[in-house]
Amino acid sequence: MVFYRIRLTQRMNAYWAMEAESEELYELAQALLDPSMGYVTLPAGFQDLCLRWRR
């Protein structure tokens, strides 16, 4: 398992920050984030599963 730490400054788009860090992170960003805002865009069912797992 690989962990990455990306520093986001105020108003920085997470999508583009991941793209700048590495090709692997850019591929993840394409799958999970909205390019225009940098927010997570997961299906609703998956989001519910993640919230239950975190508790």
Q: Is residue 6 part of a domain?
A: no
Q: How far apart are CA 43 and CA 32, in angstroms?
A: 10
The whole domain housing 33 covers 14-54
Q: Identify the DSSP state of 34.
A: -
Q: What is the pLDDT of the chain when averaged over all its residues? A: 77
Note whether residue 27 is domain-resident.
yes
Beta carbons within 10 angstroms of residue 16's beta carbon = 14
Q: With contact defined as beta carbons under 8 Å apart, do 40 and 32 qualify?
A: yes
Domain count, the chain: 1
User: Residue 48 falls within a domain, yes or no?
Assistant: yes
Q: Report the pLDDT averaged over residues 21-46.
A: 80
- Band of residue 1 on the pLDDT scale cut at 50, 70, 90: confident
The whole-number pLDDT of residue 50 equals: 60
pTM of the model as a whole: 0.58
Give domain status of residue 8, yes or no: no
Neighbouring-strand partners of residue 33: 40
Task: Let me know if residue 41 belongs to a domain.
Answer: yes
